[in-house]
Amino acid sequence: MTHAQIDSTVSHPLAMPMLGTGTFRLKDQAAVDAVLMALEEGSRHIDTAQIYGNEAAVGEAIKASSVPRDELFITTKVWTENLAANRFEASVIDSLTALQTQYVDLLLIHWPLKDEHVPMADYLLSLKTMLNKGFTRRIGVSNFTNAQLSQAIEILGEGVIFTNQVEVHPYLVNTKVTKFCKQHNILVTGYMPFAYGAVLQDELITQIAKKHGVTTAQTILAWLRQQGFATIPSSTKRENIRSNLATAKLMLSAAEIEAITGLDRNHRVANPDFAPHWD
């Protein structure tokens, strides 16, 4: 099953736009404004999560935009505290209520549990139940290592996990995980594409950007896209949102992609104390 061939029980599912709009750290009216701006500029893929505390704001922005629901691709993620069977479904229903939608297009496990006080088989089967009930059109994971992905594939079977959302940017290429995902036809969704701005100042990327007459941000987004990765940058500035969306026209050479990949220095931005033992 390829990424374009989703569960046949879903009628004409919307393909996931490879460039999405992230909402991490956006709260209240700032989240409403950022999502509304993104939708006005043409973004149709919105990424949120239970732990972000902004699902209601995202829902408000979507409603205010008047963009038809069937033109949108909405992702949310189940937080670790809701992985137990007695909380999982209720938390998803709460998310749908906040988002003002009957379903999401993609539902993810936000982080794997380090101590497995809820066994992975239990929460992944709960995730699959959400798919079966129509609360989501696709399911996936986030921040899973290769060992955890292998375990997840054993539990759910090949072709069920749509994406693994992991940190990917020029300073953290995450090659072992991205190669494993490709081997199993799991789409890589790279978050933190700018590493909190660290890579935007890189000299090599700046030189490549100047050569093409584009921004460093556009260069990085093209680098991700041309490797087949989805990504979900966030911004509160309309000009940046517009610029990000314009990257679809930018094509880097193979040599430029290789040069940017060579900047890898295992610089990980998202590394909480509950994170798994990374590959």
Beta bridge partners of 136: 104
Predicted pLDDT at 13: 66
Predicted pLDDT at 8: 30
Q: Cβ(73)–Cβ(44) under 8 Å?
A: yes
How do residues 92-133 score in pLDDT, each as one tens digit?
999 999 999 999 999 999 999 999 899 999 999 999 999 999
What topology does CATH give the domain 21-193? TIM Barrel (3.20.20)
% of residues, the chain, pLDDT over 90: 94
Give the residue ranges of DSSP H helices in 133-276: 146-156, 175-183, 203-212, 216-226, 238-245, 254-261
Cα–Cα distance for residue pair 228/162, rounded to 1 Å? 14
CA neighbor of 277 nearest in space, from 119, 124, 140, 148: 148
5 pLDDT more than 50? no
Predicted pLDDT at 52: 98
Q: What residues act catalytically?
A: 52
pTM for this model (two decimals): 0.94
